[in-house]
Amino acid sequence: MIRLKHVSKDYGGDRPALTDISVNIAKGEFVFLVGPSGSGKSTFIRLLLREILPTQGDIYISGQDIKALRSWKIPFLRRNIGCVFQDFKLLPNKTAFGNVAFALEVIGRSRYMIKKQVPEVLRLVGLEDKLDSYPGELSGGEQQRVSIARAFVNRPPLLLADEPTGNLDPATSLGVMTLFNRINRSGTTILIATHDREMVDSMRKRVIALENGNVVRDQLRGVYGYED
Amino acid sequence: MIRLKHVSKDYGGDRPALTDISVNIAKGEFVFLVGPSGSGKSTFIRLLLREILPTQGDIYISGQDIKALRSWKIPFLRRNIGCVFQDFKLLPNKTAFGNVAFALEVIGRSRYMIKKQVPEVLRLVGLEDKLDSYPGELSGGEQQRVSIARAFVNRPPLLLADEPTGNLDPATSLGVMTLFNRINRSGTTILIATHDREMVDSMRKRVIALENGNVVRDQLRGVYGYED
Amino acid sequence: MKINAVYYSKEALTNFRKNWVLSMGAVTAVALCLIVIGAIMFIAYMGNQFINKVESQIEIEIFLKDNAPYGQIEALQNQIVNWSAVKKVNYVSKENALKKFKIDFKDNPEVLQNLQGNPLPSSFRVWLKNPRTVEATVKRIKRLSIIDQVVADKNNDIKYGSQYVSKLFVITRGVSIAAGGIVLLLIFVSLVLITNTIRLAIFARRKEIGIMKLVGASNWFIRVPFLFEGVIEGALGGAIAILILGIIYRATIKSIMGGKWLVFMRIPLDQGAFMVMLLVLLLSGILIGAIGSAIALRRFLKV
Amino acid sequence: MKINAVYYSKEALTNFRKNWVLSMGAVTAVALCLIVIGAIMFIAYMGNQFINKVESQIEIEIFLKDNAPYGQIEALQNQIVNWSAVKKVNYVSKENALKKFKIDFKDNPEVLQNLQGNPLPSSFRVWLKNPRTVEATVKRIKRLSIIDQVVADKNNDIKYGSQYVSKLFVITRGVSIAAGGIVLLLIFVSLVLITNTIRLAIFARRKEIGIMKLVGASNWFIRVPFLFEGVIEGALGGAIAILILGIIYRATIKSIMGGKWLVFMRIPLDQGAFMVMLLVLLLSGILIGAIGSAIALRRFLKV
Ligand SMILES: Nc1ncnc2c1ncn2[C@@H]1O[C@H](COP(=O)(O)OP(=O)(O)OP(=O)(O)O)[C@@H](O)[C@H]1O
Ligand SMILES: Nc1ncnc2c1ncn2[C@@H]1O[C@H](COP(=O)(O)OP(=O)(O)OP(=O)(O)O)[C@@H](O)[C@H]1O
Ligand SMILES: [Mg+2]
Ligand SMILES: [Mg+2]
């Protein structure tokens, strides 16, 4: 599903954000990406979305070299990737419903389908009574859950999540994780960047640990690690 | 220091965000505000900053009724309150240095003082090598730490923090907490809204628990609670 | 794609409502520019009518010999009147010429006192369909074989105020160039301003655009609502311009047409032409909106 | 507060650089409006000069009796020439009048042929300092006690082209009103557009403004850099307008002054007046920027 070959990304700072990363993630896997603040987790995810291009190396998603992708094809790549962003990236002038519906409008789903699926998915994340609230009227955790709902409303084969529980209380976090697990069991590949030690430790999934832009650990059924 | 008397806040949704809250926080206290997502923690903090006005009740800070405050006096209230925002609220066109320096420029500190204090405080949060990065060039955790640095650079008597470790890994979180503890010992009153169970449990400070806009627990030397 | 048309319009309208300040900024920019352009177009139209009126008074005078035979005179008239360039030929008898002379010189009695008999010749006055053909027509008259039998000296007695005519054409050209230049400049100005406004509107929403792209929206999916929005804003601006120009027109037309200070150029005002002008303004508004947003989008919506 | 002045300017400049698109939008808006205003001011100035020239040719003619005694004529001239409203009095003898008549009528030989002797009277030509006093002056001449001894019929023989004069004044007024109106309209338009642009710029940064407020910045602390920025943008727009107008002026002045199509209104162009106009444009730019941002700020920077 995902193959990174000697990928480096240098923003031009003191040191590159990622250095010579080679990782394979198979279809259907559930992977945690952990590492201290600034270690390059978000950069990893932005590379997969082709929001940024790698300085060196190649990235393949479903066998496709996304570095060589023609620019008009990029939207089609992204429609197959659901993504929860660390800063939510909700459209401020659309309601919670509108934001989730947008991901379906973009791929041309019928209005009937949208009317049916969106409330369903928002109910899954516990926002059934916030359908008509704008992002500015939602709490941090509620915005994060809208972002999660948008990421998987169109059942993409690949789901990326950057810090999906950073603004959620432990109970809600657990609910979201259960959800991810369920989605994963239906065949979706999942990659989650997180700091949530409890979550990583309790799930015992594959863990890729970054530090200063290097992969320092890649462990099946791993734990968060990093003892304080 | 902080006194809330029968405070309610209704945004006009299905139910009020806060209902009849009465809380006293003495000078020099260290208080955690916990509660599930959407329980009204951010609303509590925004009320103290007079970003919003309570629908009912009165709020006193240092004995001053901030509801009755004349609008030109509001900036002076805010200069005495350091605040870490859940969404960071950094100025996108200022560097990390500039963002922190801004809090000092606003209160008219000399350029000499600014040049001396800002790098010092950024070093405390571990960003000594990101002085010249713009928020768009910082990782989520780095932005959060800039926000923390800005909040206490001018040593305010009151420090509010909304989810200050949501984007930080456990090690960095611990560092930030140690920092808060140190600031608190120098006499600063501290109020932290958080989901970070580990942190709350390890610190054993006063815990105010919100649920659906009601105070359900107010405990000295408390824990996060909410067993899953 | 039926759904998409619905989506695009809905989106454009929602954006318009949500970003009220931005939208009204663009609308007022379009409206103001179109009002100025409309006013200048109107003035240019009036000026043109005025010039046409002046030009239509250009005439060729052919002074006839006192002893020219009547048959020849008639033959000359018959020839000239059939030319396609000629609108009308009038014969002025010696008596009428004297009458007119006396009227023209009624302020100079000392001239009239010294007038003995009727020294004035009879003449033809020739009006042309297009005044600009005057020189060619004069040449053609001079080339007629019959002319020497009717006119004493064909170089002095065929007159058309050559100096006056060429000066008028020069003024006409100058004025049209100036008016056209100002209108073009203003169209350019309004296009720049509107592009600017829409560019600012897009700039203010660059984050949203970035988010749309990240969610997988294609470029056209993002662009079309902005284009629609530009068109709506342009059309609204055009409509407002029309409304205000209409009000100004109603308020001032009486004093312009009936009042004192322009009475000496009483010009027929064509209601139809005015309506066409308004329509042109509305279409310009729409076009400006579309082109403006297209230009603005080009700059900001690269992938 | 020395530090603050530094802070404000630094802040304004940084914002200007950072928000390049927004800033250049405002600058081009100011520049374009000022160019149009400048061009119209220039045309109005030329038109005014032209009208002054025409007006300066207004004269009063006093036709004298053939048998008026020389002493009285001289007395009349001495009286009139001393009036403060009068610029110059010329005496035209019978011989000179005839010469001029012959020149004027050289195209109408039949009139000249019938002229016997010299029927034309001698006359005074009176030029005024301010042409608008012409009617008052004529009245004053008619009231002179000496006049009846020099002029045969004071109602007919004192002439100043009354029709022509009043019509000219009417045109003059109409043209000044129209030009003034267009300039005012354009100043209004540019003010609205610039307010709009700056309002958009502020709108685009409303989040930043909100953040500043939350950090404890006072309203003036937030406002002043925006005002500075508006002034910078206005000044830059004014400077660009001046530059472009200067280039246009240099490029066209030759063809305007020396060329064919305006040669009949050769007007002296005052370099000083042109410089003053440019200075006025620069100051207008600064003023527009300041006022525009002040208006824009009023709306958005309530607490
Ligand atoms: N501006 C607003 N308009 C309307 N409703 C609002 C607004 N801001 C917050 N709310 C609602 O008020 C409730 C409390 O919000 P608040 O942001 O205080 O929650 P919170 O405790 O901070 O949650 P989280 O931990 O997720 O940040 C939520 O249900 C939210 O949807
Ligand atoms: N656009 C950019 N320009 C320059 N440097 C950048 C940019 N984006 C990120 N960086 C730097 O690259 C490094 C890795 O950033 P990244 O956002 O990938 O970290 P992260 O692992 O997501 O951290 P966090 O857990 O705090 O979100 C950081 O040091 C950051 O400052
Ligand atoms: Mg990150
Ligand atoms: Mg919150």
Q: How far is CA D69 from CA C89, D151, D152, D153, D159, in A?
A: 54, 11, 12, 16, 21
- Yes or no: say if D129 and D93 are a contact pair by the CB < 8 Å rule: no
- Yes or no: say if B180 and B194 are a contact pair by the CB < 8 Å rule: no
Asked which of C98-112, D247-261, D268-282 is least confident by mean pLDDT, the reply is D247-261
Q: How far is CA B31 from CA B14, B86, B179, B218, C215, in A?
A: 29, 17, 15, 10, 40
Whether the predicted pLDDT of C290 surpasses 90: no
pLDDT tens sequence across D51-60 = 777 677 778 8
Query: What class does CATH assign to D59-160?
Result: alpha beta
Does one domain contain both A198 and A167? yes
Residue reference for tokens 């004071």:
D154
Instruction: State residue D171's pLDDT score.
Output: 65
Does one domain contain both B147 and B161? no
Chain D residue with CA closest to B78: the answer is: D216
Asked which of A80-94, B121-135, C131-145 is least confident by mean pLDDT, the reply is C131-145
In a domain, A86, yes or no: no
Q: Which comes out higher in pLDDT, residue A201 or D163?
A: A201
Among B105, B140, B155, the domain-final residue is: B155
Chain C residue with CA closest to D184: the answer is: C36
Does one domain contain both A127 and A177? no
Question: Given 3-state DSSP classes, what are the helix, strand and coil percentages for chain A, each rounded to the nearest 5?
Answer: 35, 25, 40
Which structural domain range is residue A161 located in?
Answer: 1-80+156-228
Instruction: State residue C205's pLDDT score.
Output: 76
Mean pLDDT of chain C: 77
Residue reference for tokens 């804003």:
C233
Burial class (CB in 10 A: 0-12, 13-18, 19+), A191: buried
Whether the predicted pLDDT of C128 surpasses 70: yes
- On whether the pTM is more than 0.90, the answer is no
Instruction: Please report, rounded to a whole number, the percentage of residues in chain C having pLDDT higher than 70.
Output: 78
Residue reference for tokens 């998987």:
A152
Among A94, A138, A132, A128, which residue's Cα sits nearest to residue B38? Answer: A138
In a domain, A85, yes or no: no
- Strands B158-162 and B189-193 turn out to be parallel
Residues of chain A with pLDDT under 70: 226-228
- A106 and C216 in contact by Cβ < 8 A? yes
Does one domain contain both A133 and A165? no
Q: How confident is the model at residue C162 (pLDDT cuts 50, 70, 90)?
A: low
Does one domain contain both B67 and B169? yes
Residue reference for tokens 């204090």:
B117
Instruction: State residue D263's pLDDT score.
Output: 41
Alpha-carbon Rg for chain C, nearest whole angstrom, is: 31
Chain D: list its partners (3+ Cβ pairs within 8 Å): B, C
Task: Please give the average per-residue pLDDT across C250-264, as a whole number.
Answer: 54
Task: Please give the average per-residue pLDDT across D276-290, as a whole number.
Answer: 87
Whether the predicted pLDDT of D261 surpasses 60: no
Instruction: State residue D185's pLDDT score.
Output: 72
Give me the residue spans of the domains in chain D: 5-54+172-300, 59-160
Task: Please give the average per-residue pLDDT across B15-20, as a whole number.
Answer: 93
Does one domain contain both A12 and A26? yes
- Yes or no: say if D303 and D209 are a contact pair by the CB < 8 Å rule: no
CB atoms within 10 A of CB C56: 14
Whether the predicted pLDDT of C1 surpasses 70: no
Whether the predicted pLDDT of D172 surpasses 90: no
In a domain, B86, yes or no: no
Task: Please give the average per-residue pLDDT across C77-87, as a whole number.
Answer: 86
Q: Give the SS3 label for residue A45.
A: helix
Does one domain contain both B121 and B10? no
Does one domain contain both A65 and A113? no
Whether the predicted pLDDT of C268 surpasses 50: yes
In a domain, B34, yes or no: yes
Task: Please give the average per-residue pLDDT across B160-172, as a whole number.
Answer: 91
- CATH number of the domain where residue B28 is located: 3.40.50.300
pLDDT tens sequence across D10-47 = 777 877 777 776 677 778 878 877 887 887 777 777 77
Phi, psi of A197 (to 5 degrees): -60, -45
- C221 and A72 in contact by Cβ < 8 A? no
Instruction: State residue D256's pLDDT score.
Output: 54
DSSP assignment, residue A17? S
Collect all residues of chain B within an 8 Å Cβ-Cβ radius of residue A145: 37
Q: Give the SS3 label for residue D55.
A: helix
Interface size B-D, in CB pairs within 8 Å, comes to: 55
As separate numbers, helices (DSSP H) first and strands (DSSP E) second, chain A gives: 7, 10
- Yes or no: say if C243 and C27 are a contact pair by the CB < 8 Å rule: no
Mean pLDDT of chain B: 92
pLDDT tens sequence across C20-48 = 766 777 788 788 778 878 877 777 777 77
- D216 and B107 in contact by Cβ < 8 A? yes
pLDDT tens sequence across D106-139 = 766 666 766 777 778 888 888 888 877 888 888 8
Instruction: State residue D260's pLDDT score.
Output: 45
Task: Please give the average per-residue pLDDT across B124-151, as a whole number.
Answer: 93
- Yes or no: say if B88 and B146 are a contact pair by the CB < 8 Å rule: yes
Instruction: State residue D23's pLDDT score.
Output: 76
Residue type, B101: A
Instruction: State residue A101's pLDDT score.
Output: 94
Residues 130 to 169 of A: which have CB under 8 A from any C CB? 150
Whether the predicted pLDDT of B198 surpasses 90: no
Q: How far is CA B90 from CA A71, B97, D211, in A?
A: 32, 11, 7
Which residues lie closer than 8 Å to B126 by C-beta, 6 or more apart? B145, B172, B175
Does one domain contain both A141 and A169? no
Among A155, A177, A201, the domain-final residue is: A155
Does one domain contain both B182 and B149? no
Among A113, A139, A155, the domain-final residue is: A155
In a domain, B195, yes or no: yes
Cβ of residue A15 lying under 6 Å from some atom of ligand 2: no
Q: Give the SS3 label for residue A4.
A: strand
Rounded to 10 degrees, what is the CA torsion of B154, B159, B160, B162?
70
Cβ of residue B163 lying under 6 Å from some atom of ligand 2: no
Residue reference for tokens 């007079």:
B50
CA distance C302 to C149: 81
Task: Please give the average per-residue pLDDT across C56-75, as a whole number.
Answer: 82
Instruction: State residue B117's pLDDT score.
Output: 94
CB atoms within 10 A of CB D74: 12
Whether the predicted pLDDT of C234 surpasses 50: yes
Does one domain contain both B55 and B128? no
Extract the tokens encoding B126. Answer: 């571990």
Residues 128 to 187 of B: which have CB under 8 A from any A CB? 129, 133, 137, 139-142, 144-145, 162-163, 166-174
pLDDT tens sequence across B141-151 = 999 999 999 99
Nearest-CA distance C150 → chain D (Å): 18
Instruction: State residue C262's pLDDT score.
Output: 45
Does one domain contain both B160 and B63? yes
- Name residue B61's beta-bridge partners: B2, B64
- Yes or no: say if B86 and B163 are a contact pair by the CB < 8 Å rule: yes
Whether the predicted pLDDT of C15 surpasses 90: no
- Chain centre distance of CA A41: 11
CA distance C280 to D294: 36
- Report the residue from C36, C167, C200 with minimal CB separation from D25: C200
Q: Which comes out higher in pLDDT, residue B36 or C50?
A: B36
